[in-house]
Structure 1
Amino acid sequence: MNRRAALLLIFVPISLWLGLSFGASNVSVIEALQCGLFARVDPSSSAQGANCVAHHLHWQILVDVRLPRVLTAFLAGAGLALSGHVLQRVSRNPLADPYLFGIVAGAGLGAVVGQLVVTRLGLQLAMPLLAFIGALTVTCAVFFVMCRQRWQQIERILLAGVAMSFLCTAMTSFVLYLQSPHAANRVLFWLMGSLAAADWAVVALLLPIIVLGSVIIWGASRVMDAIQLSDDAVHALGINLNHVRIVLMVVVSAMTATVVAFCGGIGFVGLMIPHVVRFSMGNHRTLNIIGCIIGGGSFLVLVDLAARVVLPNQEIPIGIITAAIGSLFFLGLMQAKRT
């Protein structure tokens, strides 16, 4: 493992510690851990007991608010970065990304419809569930287009995703236009990406899907390397290319749809992090997968931290920050290639 890989590995505890240490409340992580893990709070004792009561409250903030939010950010970032890595490999296009494939736009349309259901029927799970269905519907539509062309021009899969993204965005705008301003503002904030609703239930839903998807992608890493060859060369190796692409796309869609359903539209993570990882670690398949998990997770934890602390008493949608960073990143990348 080279120095850059070691630095990326050290990045994980640093980002997690920063995510737990800073926020709207001034919380001492060390003192809260000492009181929450080792001390018993006795409110009837002296000033030391009063301090421990305060630290116990800090412990509750850490366990019930910050820790699930940090874990959600890490899982979401890891899932998006890993999805972008797979899409770039499968489509042989370095610009492939879950956002450009229309998955986020499909989830957004489902979320808007889910908001109507929540408002009228009070079913709280309708919004994430329909967001998940919307993302998978877009993926199936892209599959249908490519299957009709028998996957002959794989680069067109990105164009099909962009077309579906525009379609879903237009339908979303129309539905929002028909809703009340309050409902529209709530959905618009969600579409820009937010982890404000993160809790242990969200972590419990994200964790198995991201872990299972990572394991499947890890097992298919050799095949993804072979996909970089021409289609004829891949078939000569005895690999069913269409089958592999469909399986990997389903895995990516499941991970991305789950992330988008609970965290909203977060762009550029799946586009930017795989490039950074390849630049840092080369094209080693194992290091690329590990790097995407570590880099994407840590990056989104820090972005969420910035969204919480940059403006006092306000929270910036994390999608705005990731889009700004991603745009500057690729402008710098284009400039570097020119020189």
Structure 2
Amino acid sequence: MTGSSLSVARTPPRRRAGLFPAALGLAVLILGLSFTAAVSVGAVPIAAGTVWGVIADRLLPGLVETAWPAGHEAIIWELRVPRTILAGLVGAGLALVGAGLQAVTRNALADPHLLGISSGGAFGAITALLHTGLILGLATVPLFAFAGALCAMALVLGVARLADAASAERLVLAGVAVSFVVMAGANVMIFLGDPRASHMVIFWMLGSLGLAQWSQLVFPAFALAVCGAWLWSRAQDLDAMTIGDESAATLGIPVARFRLEVFVAGALLTGTMVAFSGVIGFVGLMVPHVARMMVGGGHARVLPLSALLGAVFLIWCDLLSRTVMAPQDMPIGVVTGLVGGLFFVWLLGRRQGGAPRRA
């Protein structure tokens, strides 16, 4: 941990809360720069001016003079822009889910990947891709992924109740166990599927944004807008849940129902993102912690900042995944897994050194 990050972590909670407007503005600026870099950099480097010229011409035809090759316009608008937008949407969505789950489970290690939600979403998506086909049109994969994520979350809660695992740590262990079982089922579905399609699905399971299309972006964008707005509207309830169930109940919060609502919202958001990106782990684990270090623990601040930081993080991970081994794409899950694993070890060491302080 660097000296600057240590100084942020030791900043008093009220002072960190006051840093929220500056942190939010800085995150928006970095997001814009990251978007520009992600669209500009690639096997065919394109100037930032050309990138924004193409975008402006597409949004407002005739606004700028078209002085760029047609090939560059196709690369920017048809390939890189939708891919970068999808990376931002997925990163923001997974970060929001992680922040919500960490609050209602009071577990700093909770995230959609560890609790089995991502695995359930992958199982549903694989079922749709290999065995049922698009029986409901473009909404088939997101709906199946949501159903799979919801069933996986129900299994986690059922296992936790069956084993009398009421503590937050045991809930995470139940999630890990369910995740292994569900992924085993997903592997069986791949084994039984068409071998030619299975190869593509296996690559997709490791995390891939290469199939991003404009026509599909409406689904993750809608899920992010609805679930993100709902979570932000319940920010005070999330704050109360971090104190404890009894304290939250004394404030008039129906604890069991609210926790279930957060799980359902998390399953919907995670399932939709998994349907278009594959299984991408550790984003929901890391990003909320970084947001809390910057602006304190109030979820009215943590949630929007987590969404922005999650978008920035996944955009850069995607940029690395398609440039490190160019012209081949490395699965983005490899990049997030490497960074997330190191962060997980650091977080365990930090918790071992002393109880984490609430901001």
Query: Once structures 1 and 2 are overlaid, which stretch shifts more, 121-130 or 302-311?
Result: 121-130
**Residue in 1 aligned with 2:40?**
21
Question: How many pairs align?
Answer: 328
Query: Structure 2: how far apart are the matches of 1:99 and 1:264?
Result: 11
Q: Closer, same or farther in 2 for the Cα pair 1:166/1:334, shift >3 Å?
A: closer
**Residue in 2 aligned with 1:246?**
260
Deviation of 1:163 (Å): 2.2
Instruction: Establish whether residue 38 from structure 1 lines up as the match of residue 63 from structure 2.
Output: yes
Paired amino acid for 2:199 = N
- 8 Å CA contact 1:100, 1:165 repeated in 2: yes
- 8 Å CA contact 1:33, 1:59 repeated in 2: no
- 8 Å CA contact 2:130, 2:198 repeated in 1: no
- 8 Å CA contact 2:83, 2:213 repeated in 1: yes
Query: Once structures 1 and 2 are overlaid, which stretch shifts more, 317-326 or 145-154?
Result: 145-154
Greater radius of gyration (CA): 1
Q: Closer, same or farther in 2 for the Cα pair 1:21/1:290, shift >3 Å?
A: same
Instruction: Establish whether residue 78 from structure 1 lines up as the match of residue 92 from structure 2.
Output: yes
Structure 2 gaps, min length 5? 1-17, 355-359
Residue 182 of structure 2: which of 159, 165, 168 is its match? 168
Paired amino acid for 1:297 = A
TM-score, scaled to structure 1: 0.87
- CA-to-partner distance for each residue in 1:165-216, whole Å, 9 max, x for gaps? 1111121223333445433321111110101111112211111110111111
Residue 12 of structure 1: which of 31, 42, 50 is its match? 31
- 8 Å CA contact 1:5, 1:280 repeated in 2: no
**Residue in 2 aligned with 1:286?**
300
Deviation of 1:32 (Å): 5.1
Query: Structure 1: how far apart are the matches of 2:234 and 2:32?
Result: 28
Structure 1 gaps, min length 5? 42-51
Query: Structure 2: how far apart are the matches of 1:34 and 1:321?
Result: 31
Paired amino acid for 1:257 = G
- CA-to-partner distance for each residue in 1:251-307, whole Å, 9 max, x for gaps? 111001000011100000000111111112221322211210110011101111111
**Residue in 1 aligned with 2:5?**
none
Query: Structure 2: how far apart are the matches of 1:286 and 1:195?
Result: 30
Q: CA RMSD in A?
A: 2.8
**Residue in 2 aligned with 1:46?**
none
Deviation of 1:142 (Å): 3.0
- 8 Å CA contact 2:149, 2:267 repeated in 1: yes
3-state secondary structure, aligned to 2:109:
coil
- Identity within the alignment, %: 33
Query: Once structures 1 and 2 are overlaid, which stretch shifts more, 205-214 or 19-28?
Result: 19-28
Deviation of 1:221 (Å): 0.5
Instruction: Establish whether residue 321 from structure 1 lines up as the match of residue 335 from structure 2.
Output: yes
**Residue in 2 aligned with 1:190?**
204
- 8 Å CA contact 1:72, 1:202 repeated in 2: no
TM-score, scaled to structure 2: 0.82
**Residue in 2 aligned with 1:48?**
none
Give 1:1-339 correspondences, 5 Å limit. 1-2=18-19, 4-31=23-50, 33-34=52-53, 36=57, 37-39=62-64, 52=67, 54=69, 56-117=70-131, 126-145=140-159, 153=167, 155-179=169-193, 181-335=195-349, 338=353
- 8 Å CA contact 1:78, 1:296 repeated in 2: yes
